[in-house]
Amino acid sequence: MLEALQLPFIQRALIAGLLVGGLASYLGVLVVQRRLSFLGDGLAHAAFAGVAIGLFLHEEPLWIAIPFAVGVSLAITWVRERSNLGDDTAIGIFFAVSVALGVLFMSMRQGFAPDAVAYLFGSILTVTQVDLWVMGSIALVVALMAPLWRNWAYATFDRELALADRQPVLLHDYLLSALIALVVVASVKVVGIVLIAAFIVIPAATARLLTQTFASMTLLSVAIGVVSVIPGLVASYIFDVPTGSAIVLVQALLFALALAVRR
Amino acid sequence: MTAPPVQLDNFSVRFGEFQALDRVTLEVPQGAFVAILGPNGAGKSTLLKALLGIASGILRDAPTSVSGSVKVFGNTPQNVKAGWVGYVPQVKSFDRSFPALSLEVVVSGLRRSWPFIVTLQERKKAEAMLEQVGALQLANRRLGRLSGGELQRVYLARSLIREPKLLLLDEPATGVDAVGEADLYRHLETYQRQSGATVMMITHDWEAAQHHASAVLLINRRVIEYGLPADVMCPNCLAQAFGHVGHSHGLVSGRR
Ligand SMILES: Nc1ncnc2c1ncn2[C@@H]1O[C@H](COP(=O)(O)OP(=O)(O)OP(=O)(O)O)[C@@H](O)[C@H]1O
Ligand SMILES: [Mg+2]
């Protein structure tokens, strides 16, 4: 096992897993607390459409998936702010359009698409140097915006009070949804489109069961998100199962434990 | 020459087709304790939100249109100095599942953002404030698990912690027990005496308004009457505000 760490592709997988695990579980606390779990799913499928278009055009899929997912995320936020349709409906519409586009472009490609499967279910062992650079840059952006945690938390707690205190709540909403989209795209290679929503939500949900304050919930969620990647990776290496499944199952196990031990 | 805390001139708010406030003109002098009375749906909460600059901020369905002018200390509500205005909302619209301790909520009033780490100084200040409103024992309790009256106290502490010059209270006594209500007025009076702050409080409690307020605003979308409590609480004015004579007469003279 330890000699496996010498292999560059294992090293890349480990770095990618830890980075993305931390990012997803950090934004996950806001996603969970704002009841936007479905947004993770919607954006994952927007990423899928972006990847499909990229594969169709023979471009690096990330370069299409990133702007596409960010655009969809901003559009969802825009519809949410402008109407009282409800988050689920706004997200559902974009979800459907994304899946339709994704399937359309996938079907227009000639022949079998093994790479498409990698995107659907994740394939952390094929993380490239480019993928790592992209993840690292996204992590940097999220880190630079860390001071906004206080504002996002405040508006999550009570939007009206945040507005009364002159917070630019709307601007912060757009920034948050753009970041969530970036993290979703970054997570595609690690856990796959199908499992991203769970990957974002489960650590935060587990943390909420065990904590009394939002700050401790955030810290614990990130800890769970990062730590659960390691056994997930090991299991996937030893038993040759998809990494995404292994990680998410480890997280689900932690969630069940938390549910059992909470006071 | 300082500008009055509140100055409204022909101020109107429409929610779509619905006129919530109709050409309200009003000036509140510094140090006043204004009780705002009026029937349900009279636009009382809307008035306070206008003073906070959020009358049109949170709406999703009907387009809001606002006309006329609102000045708070001579400024638009958005440009008033941070911390000059304290607010206790009527509807506690916070997310009950949000993991928040009462103490953090009070500190959020101090910082105007959510605390990641509460400093020792902030903790002392928030605890002192909670103690003043008789809620120190709530400091480390989950906000989402407090009772209605307990919540009111925490929100009151929150609104006072920056020592605002203008305090806007939307039915702060609702859900508070009799002792708590007496406490509330005592705090407000003490605070006013010490700070010279202006208080505007929405209430449905006529007696309290009569006893504690220096002025009463009777409102039903438009200003019905605004003046000294004794002058405003005449059966006729009430009838106008509430639209039926007998009942409102009973309200004024009757004792609970
Ligand atoms: N965001 C909104 N969109 C549409 N209508 C609104 C909105 N906010 C308030 N209203 C309407 O404006 C009217 C005045 O509301 P407001 O909350 O100011 O009443 P109020 O005097 O505080 O009543 P109460 O005594 O019941 O608290 C109500 O009829 C309400 O339905
Ligand atoms: Mg009201």
Which segment of A95-99, B52-56, B82-86 scores lowest on mean pLDDT?
B52-56
Residue B247 scores a pLDDT above 50: no
Taking only the tens place, the pLDDT of each residue in A10-68 is 899 999 999 999 999 999 999 999 998 889 999 999 999 998 998 888 888 889 999 99
| Mean residue pLDDT across chain B | 86
Q: What is the mean pLDDT of residues B35-60?
A: 84
Structural domains in chain B, sorted by start: 1-84+197-256 (3.40.50.300)
pLDDT at res. A28: 97
Where would I find the beta strands (DSSP E) of B16-171?
A: 18-28, 33-37, 64-72, 85-88, 166-170
Structure tokens at A167: 């917070």
Residue B250 scores a pLDDT above 60: no
Spell out which residues of chain B touch residue A84, defining contact as CB-CB under 8 Å. Answer: 60-61
3-state secondary structure A73-137: HHHHHHHHHHCCCCHHHHHHHHHHHHHHHHHHHHHHCCCCCHHHHHHHHCCHHHCCHHHHHHHHH
pLDDT at res. B208: 84
> What atom of ligand 1 comes closest to residue B64's alpha carbon?
3
Alpha-helix residue ranges (DSSP H) falling in chain A: 8-33, 37-56, 61-82, 87-108, 114-121, 129-144, 149-157, 159-164, 169-191, 196-210, 214-227, 229-239, 243-261
Q: What is the mean pLDDT of residues B154-168?
A: 94
Q: Out of A84, A213, A215, name the one closest to residue B61 (CB).
A: A84
* pLDDT class of A1 with cuts at 50, 70, 90: low
Q: Taking each helix axis from N to C terminus, what angle separates A243-261 and A196-210, rounded to the nearest 10 degrees?
A: 20
Picking from B47, B112, B145, B162 by the largest number of A CB atoms within 10 A of its own CB, the best residue to mutate is B112
pLDDT at res. B87: 94
Q: What is the mean pLDDT of residues B87-94?
A: 86
Name the strands in the sheet holding B18-28, side by side, starting at the edge strand that comes first in the sequence: B18-28, B6-15, B64-72
d(CA B52, CA B87): 8
Distance B253 CA to ligand 1 centre (A): 28
- Partners of B69 in the β-ladder: B9
Distance set, CA B15 to CA A81, A106, B64, B220 (Å) = 16, 47, 5, 16
Q: Is the ipTM of this complex over 0.85?
A: yes
Which domain CATH number covers A184? 1.10.3470.10
- CB contact (8 A) between residue A166 and residue B115: no
Q: How far is A143 from chain B (nearest CA, A)?
A: 15
User: Domain count of chain A?
Assistant: 1
Distance set, CA B229 to CA A100, B29, B35, B48 (Å) = 66, 15, 9, 20
pLDDT at res. A113: 65
- Ligand 1 environment, Cβ below 6 A: B 15, 18, 20, 38, 40-46, 59, 62, 90
Asked if residue B101 lies in contact with residue B139, where contact means CB atoms within 8 angstroms, the answer is yes
Structure tokens at A101: 């586009």
pLDDT at res. A58: 87
- Domain of residue A63 covers 4-262
Taking only the tens place, the pLDDT of each residue in A175-204 is 999 999 999 999 988 888 889 999 999 999
B185 at A interface, C-beta within 8 A:
no
* pLDDT class of B245 with cuts at 50, 70, 90: very low
Q: Which residues in chain B (211-240) have CB-CB distances under 8 A to chain A?
A: none
Q: Which amino acid is at A75?
A: A
* pLDDT class of B154 with cuts at 50, 70, 90: very high
